[in-house]
């Protein structure tokens, strides 16, 4: 059973469904952070680690290098949302 899940997520993140997986991840991050600003603290390490994972797992001539760049952009977005949320709560 775990082999099937691992294969599904590998295919969704690094295989044929990689762009769909990236769009789903970005949509979840944007929707949740729009509703709750402080959730950027949860998504920030996820974006950084996923960006590093893309850089390490994807060949440099692949289009999925843009996925790593997108994850680092989303990390900056999470920092901005988190700063905005902290300002509103203080």
pLDDT in tens, 24-70: 999 999 999 999 989 999 999 999 999 999 888 888 888 888 889 99
CA dihedral sign, ordered 71, 17, 11, 61: negative
Please provide the size of the chain in residues. Answer: 90
pLDDT tier at 1, thresholds 50, 70, 90: low
The pTM (predicted TM-score) of the whole model is 0.85
Residue 89, exposed/middle/buried by CB under 10 A (0-12, 13-18, 19+)? exposed
pLDDT at 86 over 60: yes
- Of 87, 85, 73, 89, give the one whose Cα is nearest residue 41: 85
C-alpha span between 67 and 81 (Å, rounded): 21
pLDDT at 16 over 90: no
């Amino acid at each position: 059973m775990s082999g099937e899940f691992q294969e599904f997520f590998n295919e969704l993140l690094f295989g044929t469904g990689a762009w769909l997986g990236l769009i789903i991840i970005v949509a979840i991050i944007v929707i949740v952070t729009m509703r709750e600003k402080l959730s950027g603290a949860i998504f920030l390490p996820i974006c950084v680690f996923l960006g590093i994972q893309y850089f390490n797992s994807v060949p440099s001539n692949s289009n999925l290098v843009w996925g790593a760049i997108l994850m680092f952009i989303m990390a900056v977005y999470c920092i901005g949302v988190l700063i905005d949320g902290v300002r509103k709560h203080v």
